[in-house]
Chain A
Amino acid sequence: MLLWFLPFFLILLMIGLPVVFALLVSPIVLIMMEGDTRNVVAGLYRNLYVGMDSFPLMALPFFLLAGEVMNRGGITMRLVEFSQAFMGHLRGGLAHVNILSSILFAGLSGSAVADTSALGSTLIPAMEKNGYTRRFAAAITAASSVIGPIIPPSGIMIIYAYVMGKSVASLFLAGIVPGILVGAGLMLTVRLLADRYDLPKAERIVNKGQGISTTEYWVSLILIRINLGGLLWWIGSFFLPDGGAELGWALFAAALLAAHLILLGYRKRVSADFRTVAKKAVAPLQTPIIILGGILAGVMTPTEASAIAVAYALIVSFLVLRSMNGADLWHVLMKSALSTSAVLLLVGAAVSFKTVVSLSYAPQIMSDYILSLSENPLILLFLINLLLFAVGMFLDAGPAIIILGPILGPIFVDLGVHPVHFAIIMSVNLTVGLATPPMGLVLFVASTVSGEKVETISKAILPFLAVEIAVIFLITYVPAISMTVPYLTGFLGCGPELSFGDCISPPPGGR
């Protein structure tokens, strides 16, 4: 009888029961109808609790909080101005700015809804004023916002990693290139549309003659030198014996000096306004560097990195930018706690649900059914992408991952798809679903922000969705796109005996 819990769950979901309750009602009803002689329902209650009682999961509220603090602290405007200084002068300049801002914002926030809301309220009116139609502006905002949960930090990847028992760090690293690829694809589309619809250029600097506080000036000056010096140090270590270990800190000092000289040389080539706008973006853009740097260096777990990100965001907003006060802090804490609590309860319910999934024969039956369609993993991946895309049209990415991950993940891992690769396929596909009609969440947010109808935005977004779907298939059939970064950084856990190809595409039933 337990086998019927999946169809029952789907019926409850389709008639509108909130996902968190549907995940619990369907197995509990069937277990209680059988008598519950072994007190399985009490076990499900315990798993609901155990599912939420997790240290790795704590990264979720912390990353959400860091993003909210940054956004509340006036970071959005700085990122937009920074992006515009680089891309505003191109044909379709503000559309490019919208996409680049989303890529940068993704490194701070990890939420497509937050991205649409924050960037849309700034950029949609600006684009309209610059000669774009409102529906185009809303469509590009919604389309580019899906980059948010793909580039780390990412809320849905934390959830996937937790529910499926995978490493958060490997998923974060695997998301970097696909996220940038989505951004590049969207920029290419804008470039093509710019010729066809004669999209306008924009000024590179909107607010000329802006000032910068002394504290922020010095903080930016030091940080940009440390960033560039660190990059030169890292590159230099490849060309020196023992990675330059003998030279120690002297090498870093030389790299810092070289960075200083490069920046002095560059200073003469750009205007004072450009320099000010760039300096104002330096402090906010340290957040992804801190998060990824801490995790990659092995000195911090993702949860600790997320707490550091919160501390950094607070220091920047309160002490450097001086753009937040106590009331703002209260508001962001409240908003983060509210968003997180609904998700954590959902994750707890998912862990209970997963227990019943494993108790029932559902995965075996699903597996047999899927394998009866074809034994070719490439065809099955194509079909599963269609399924995920259809699910993404109606369901939010987080709950969809929670429901489908435990069912589909093991099947495809057995077929020879690396668990991290499958996680990225699922995450990117369901994230794109956030911008897909008829129920895409960010379409509704973009509609609220722009005042344009969802139906109108849904039509205007189609060319961008086509590009995103192409990227999904590219990621699916070329695992190296997403897997190279985690492989090179040693986060896939492959020993030296395994080649790159064997590591990222293990043999069927291999791992």
Chain B
Amino acid sequence: MSVLFGVLTPLERAISALLALCKVLSVIALAIMVTLILGQIFFRYALNDAPNWTEEAARFGMIWMTGLMAPVAYRLGGFVAIDMLEQALGRTAAAILNLVLLGITLWLLVVLWERGLNNHLDTISGRGCSSTLRWPFGIEIGRCGEKFANRYQYAGLWVGINLLIVVNIEHILRNVVTLLGGGDRLTDHRPAEDIAGAS
């Protein structure tokens, strides 16, 4: 058990620090999204000259917001699931079931990680350049020059999958601890308020 906690405690601290940064970046992304769309409306109606890049920039923000914040939601138990079977089982059986489910999830995330990496590096769209987003102040980077590379936007999801894998491993370790009877020594990650979702 002490070996398990020796691995889990620093991992939890590292994840907490990492996800705290993700939260800050997500909040900034959401604030920028709102500002861009309000700017788009202002330019269209007040100046009769809507910029063509605001919509894509806002979508850029939304992908990164999702990629960075979804792992936080996953850690807090914010992904909807039917947990009736788990509740009907005893503690040990429920922990074993959870481990099986977490194993399935880890397999999925690793598959997505590999396909995602290929998508960003090898495909035509992954190697392409944005049609509207450009670096400011005449900056030119890489093959796309002044244009944003598409993979900057795609990377939002891929980074999110990386973070989901890390959180999944944390969940697995916590379940092993629960299975071995140390569940009451784990820190509680549940949120103070319900995560409302769209409902």
Q: Which residues of A contact B (CB under 8 A)?
A: 12-21, 24-25, 28, 32, 41-42, 44-46, 48-49, 52-55, 57-58, 60-62, 64-65, 111-114, 117, 149, 155-156, 158-159, 299-300, 303-304, 307-308, 310-311, 330, 333-346, 348, 394-399, 431, 434, 438-439, 441, 444-445, 448
Q: Nearest chain B CB to A19's CB is how many angstroms away?
A: 5
In the complex, are the beta carbons of B116 and A112 less than 8 A apart?
Answer: no
B38 contact from A53, A307, A334, A395, Cβ within 8 A:
A307
Shortest CB distance A313–B (Å): 11
> What mask results when residues 95 to 124 of chain B are scored 1 for a CB within 8 Å of chain A, else 0?
001100100110110011001101100010
Q: How far is the CA of A67 from the CA of B199 in the complex (A)?
A: 13
Nearest-CB residue, chain B, relative to A303: B37
Set of chain B residues within 8 Å of A310, measured between Cβ atoms: 34, 38
From B23, B62, B70, B197, contact of A113 by CB (8 A) = B197
Tell me which of B7-15, B74-82, B128-136 binds A. B74-82
B86 within 8 A of A: yes
**By the criterion CB–CB under 8 Å, are A335 and B193 in contact?**
yes
At the interface, yes or no: B73 with Cβ under 8 Å from chain A? yes
B63 within 8 A of A: yes
Which residue in chain B gives the minimum CB-CB distance to A430? B199
Sorting the interface of chain B by its residue count into under 10, 10 to 19, 20 to 34 or 35 or more gives 35 or more
Known: A16-B97, A16-B101, A399-B80. A337 touches B198 (CB 8 A): no
Q: Which residues of B contact A15 (CB under 8 A)?
A: 85, 97, 101
- A42-B115 CB under 8 A given contacts A111-B198, A310-B34, A398-B198: yes
- The 5 sampled A-B contact pairs (Cβ below 8 Å) are A17-B105, A65-B34, A117-B194, A159-B198, A441-B199
Is B58 at the interface (CB under 8 A from chain A)? yes
- Determine if B27 is an interface residue (Cβ-Cβ < 8 Å): yes
- Give the distance in Å from the alpha carbon of A448 to the alpha carbon of B191 in the complex: 13
Chain B contact residues: over half helix, strand or loop, or mixed?
Answer: helix
Asked if A18 and B30 make an inter-chain contact with CB atoms under 8 angstroms apart, the answer reads no
Q: How far is the CB of B160 from chain A (nearest CB, A)?
A: 8
Tell me if B4 counts as interface (CB < 8 A to partner A).
Answer: no
Q: Which residues of B contact A (CB under 8 A)?
A: 23, 26-27, 29-31, 33-34, 37-38, 40-41, 45, 55, 58-59, 62-63, 65-66, 68-70, 72-74, 76, 78-86, 97-98, 101, 104-105, 107-108, 111-112, 115-116, 118-119, 123, 125, 153-154, 157, 160, 193-199
Chain A residues, Cβ within 8 Å of B76? 338
Complex Cα gap A112–B197 (Å): 10
Tell me the complex Cα distance, A15–B199, Å.
23
Name the B residues within 8 Å of A25 (CB-CB).
Answer: 104-105, 107-108
**Which residue of chain B is the closest to A42 with respect to CB atoms?**
B115
Cα(A304)–Cα(B40), bound, Å:
9
Measured in the bound complex, the distance between the Cα atoms of B72 and A61 in whole Å is: 16
Closest 10 CB pairs of A and B: A155-B198, A341-B69, A18-B79, A307-B37, A342-B73, A113-B196, A398-B198, A45-B115, A18-B81, A341-B70
Q: Distance (Å) between the CB of B108 and the closest chain A CB?
A: 5
Q: Is the CB of A395 within 8 A of B82?
A: yes
> Are A307 and B41 in touch, CB under 8 angstroms?
yes
Q: A21-B105, A46-B119, A300-B41 are in contact. Are A307 and B112 (CB under 8 A)?
A: no
Q: How far is the CB of A79 from chain B (nearest CB, A)?
A: 18
Inter-subunit contact A17/B104 (CB<8 Å) = yes
Pair A344/B73 contact, Cβ less than 8 Å:
no
Contact partners of B31 in chain A: CB under 8 A: 333
For residue B197, which residues in chain A have a CB less than 8 angstroms away from its CB? 111, 113, 155, 339, 342-343, 396, 398
Residues A342 and B27 in contact, CB atoms below 8 Å apart: no
**A376 to B41 CA separation, bound complex (whole angstroms):** 48
Given contacts A18-B74, A311-B34, 17 further A-B contacts (CB under 8 A): A17-B105, A21-B105, A46-B125, A48-B157, A49-B119, A52-B157, A54-B59, A62-B33, A65-B34, A114-B196, A158-B198, A337-B69, A339-B196, A340-B30, A341-B70, A394-B84, A439-B84
Known contacts A49-B157, A65-B30, A341-B26; is-contact A394 B82 (Cβ 8 Å)? yes
Residues of chain B within 8 A (CB-CB) of A18 are 74, 79-81, 105
In the complex, are the beta carbons of A396 and B37 less than 8 A apart?
no
Max count, chain A CB within 10 A of own CB: residue among B29, B45, B58, B80: B80
Q: Are A20 and B79 in contact (CB under 8 A)?
A: yes
Contact A61 B30 (CB under 8 A): yes
User: By the criterion CB–CB under 8 Å, are B80 and A395 in contact?
Assistant: yes
Task: Indicate if the CB atoms of A337 and B154 lie closer than 8 Å.
Answer: no
Query: Could you say which residues of chain B place their CB within 8 Å of the CB of A341?
Result: 26, 65-66, 68-70, 72-73
> Chain B nearest CB: distance from A415 CB in Å?
27
Contacts of A395 in B (CB 8 A): 80, 82
Q: Which of A12, A158, A333 contacts B104 (CB 8 A)?
A: A12
Contact of A445 with B194 at beta-carbon distance under 8 Å, contacts A342-B73, A398-B80 already known: yes
Kindly state the separation between the CA atoms of A334 and B101 in the bound complex, as whole angstroms: 28
Q: How far is the CB of B57 from chain A (nearest CB, A)?
A: 11
Task: Say whether, besides A65-B30, A113-B199, A439 and B82 are in contact (CB < 8 Å).
Answer: yes
Closest residue of chain A to B67 (Cβ to Cβ) is: A341
B112: contacting residue among A24, A344, A396, A399, CB under 8 A: A24
Chain A residues contacting B86 (CB-CB under 8 Å) are 16
Residues of B contacting A303 in the complex (Cβ-Cβ under 8 angstroms): 37
Check A344 against B66 for contact (C-beta < 8 Å).
Answer: yes
Which residues of B are found within 8 Å of A20, using beta-carbon distances? 79-80
Per the bound structure, the CA–CA distance linking A337 and B22 in Å amounts to 11
Q: Which chain B residues border A348 with CB–CB below 8 Å?
A: 66, 157
How far, in angstroms, from A55 to B29 measured CA to CA in the complex? 15
Assembled-state Cα–Cα distance A177/B153 (Å): 41
**Using Cβ atoms and an 8 Å threshold, which residues of chain A touch B23?**
334, 337
Identify which of A330, A394, A439 contacts B27 (C-beta below 8 A).
A330
Closest to A62 in B: B34
How many Å lie between the Cα of A342 and that of B196 in the bound state?
10
What separation, in Å, do the CA atoms of A27 and B109 have in the docked complex? 14
Collect the chain B residues with CB atoms within 8 Å of residue A434's CB: 199
Cα–Cα distance between A431 and B198 once the two chains are bound (Å): 11
CA distance A266 to B36 in the complex (A): 43
* Contact assessment for B59 and A53 in the assembled complex, using a CB-CB cutoff below 8 Å: yes
**Contact residues in A for B101 (Cβ distance below 8 Å):** 15-17
A447 to B35, CA, bound (A): 38
Q: Is the CB of A342 within 8 A of B81?
A: no
Cβ–Cβ < 8 Å partners of B27 in chain A: 330, 333-334, 337
Q: Which of A16, A48, A431 contacts B83 (CB 8 A)?
A: A16
